[in-house]
């Protein structure tokens, strides 16, 4: 543990980086509280997406990604961490207590922290340049370090199946009452929006083999590929992130593993696109489970590859003001969440 009180400036700077984590529809469904030698992560149910995410899976993945971002940022600042996930069963919104101690970051730790500001979701088609096997092994190790498995899909049959599952999930969700309105509320926003998905970050012509979720609007120019290029070839990477079980703690860990994979891929120079849609529909989630060679519970599909040299930079998505995401440590608990 720390022998002195946690410096508030350091804690706030780490939380600012944690807030750069990916989240479903860029909803940023988390809150933070700062203690003397700890930082606490809470779910923000007011930012949940009940039509898209009725079970709260996406919310916990999002918060798990923010939790890992926080740990990376703290370590870069010289603070190690021990995480207690869901520490109080009477307060299920209290997702994690991060106990701090002195730490010594190594060069790879600093590089991972630097990747936080560069990471973004790229929904455009990727080049057919192959991802080196050693890169994929490093990504598997990143997931394994967080208690998860990253299974790269081999062969066109598995990849085509996952693409069909994404498409089928989209059809099922289109029939879900309230979902179209919820999606329209959170997407198609302006470039300056502090939350939600801007239209400038969604391709206007989704030409990839893996379907892009239907958002409110799409204004992003599609990548231009060669005459015979397509991101559906076996040279682009499609992977499934899984854990041994499926419960709130494992979903939180899956979010942490997603963050580790995305930041590692960003450090490698790869473009990344996490795809949660087939996990949001029970039927397609069950069928995706059958794809896993070694068993386990699927939590996220991840598309990885190289953006073409000519690709325009992906616009930076907005984030809520830091002060809006931090509550006092003694802030009252929400009604009905314990004493």
Q: φ and ψ at 299, to 5 degrees?
A: -130, -25
Supply the pLDDT for residue 231.
Answer: 47
Q: CA torsion sign, 299 to 300 to 301 to 303?
A: negative
How far apart are the C-alpha atoms of 258 and 186, rounded to whole Å?
22
How far apart are the C-alpha atoms of 339 and 220, rounded to whole Å?
48
Which residues have C-beta within 8 Å of that of residue 260, sequence separation ≥ 6? 68, 142, 143, 145, 146
Per-residue pLDDT of the chain (339 residues; tens, 9 = 90+): 675 678 999 999 999 999 999 999 999 999 999 999 999 999 999 999 999 999 999 999 999 999 999 999 999 999 999 999 999 988 999 999 999 999 999 999 999 999 999 999 998 888 888 999 999 999 999 999 999 999 999 888 888 899 899 999 999 999 999 999 999 999 989 988 999 999 988 887 766 667 777 787 765 767 776 444 554 444 579 999 999 999 999 999 999 999 999 999 999 999 999 999 999 999 999 999 988 877 799 999 999 999 988 888 999 999 999 999 999 988 776 654 443
Supply the pLDDT for residue 128.
Answer: 83
Supply the pLDDT for residue 1.
Answer: 65
Report strand pairing: 149-152 vs 237-243.
antiparallel
Domains parsed from the chain with CATH numbers: 8-118 (3.40.109.10), 133-305 (3.40.109.10)
The H or E element spanning position 138 is: helix 133-144
The H or E element spanning position 113 is: helix 107-115
Phi-psi region at 307: left, alpha or beta (left = phi > 0; alpha = psi -120 to 50): beta
Supply the pLDDT for residue 280.
Answer: 95
Q: φ and ψ at 321, to 5 degrees?
A: -55, 140
Longest dimension (CA), the chain: 64
Supply the pLDDT for residue 127.
Answer: 87
């Amino acid at each position: 543990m720390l022998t002195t009180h946690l410096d508030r400036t350091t804690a706030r700077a780490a939380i600012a980086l944690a807030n750069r984590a990916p989240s479903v529809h860029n909803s940023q469904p988390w809150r933070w509280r700062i203690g003397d030698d700890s930082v606490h992560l809470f779910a923000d149910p007011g930012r949940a997406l009940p039509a898209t995410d009725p079970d709260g899976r996406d919310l916990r993945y999002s918060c798990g990604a923010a939790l890992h971002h926080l740990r990376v940022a703290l370590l870069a600042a010289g603070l190690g961490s021990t995480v207690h996930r869901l520490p109080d069963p009477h307060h299920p919104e209290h997702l994690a207590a991060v106990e701090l101690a002195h730490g010594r970051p190594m060069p790879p730790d600093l590089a991972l922290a630097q990747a936080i500001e560069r990471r973004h979701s790229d929904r455009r088609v990727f080049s057919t340049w192959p991802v080196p096997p050693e890169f994929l092994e490093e990504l598997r190790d990143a997931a394994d370090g967080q208690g998860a498995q990253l299974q790269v899909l081999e062969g066109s049959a598995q990849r085509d199946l996952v693409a069909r599952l994404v498409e089928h999930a989209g059809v099922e969700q289109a029939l879900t009452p309230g979902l179209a309105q919820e999606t329209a509320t959170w997407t198609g926003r302006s470039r300056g929006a502090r939350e939600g998905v801007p239209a400038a970050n969604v391709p206007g012509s989704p030409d990839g083999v893996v379907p892009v979720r239907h958002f409110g609007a799409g204004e992003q120019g599609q990548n231009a590929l060669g005459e015979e290029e397509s991101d559906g070839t076996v040279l682009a990477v499609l992977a499934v992130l899984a854990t041994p079980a499926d419960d709130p703690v494992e979903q939180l860990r899956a979010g942490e593993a997603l963050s580790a994979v995305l930041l590692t891929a960003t450090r490698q120079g790869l473009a990344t696109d996490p795809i949660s849609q087939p996990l949001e529909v029970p039927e397609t989630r069950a069928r995706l489970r059958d794809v896993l060679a070694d068993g386990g519970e699927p939590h996220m599909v991840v598309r990885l590859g190289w953006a073409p040299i000519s690709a325009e930079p992906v616009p930076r998505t907005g984030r809520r003001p830091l002060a809006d995401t931090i509550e006092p440590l003694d802030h009252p608990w929400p009604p009905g969440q314990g004493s």
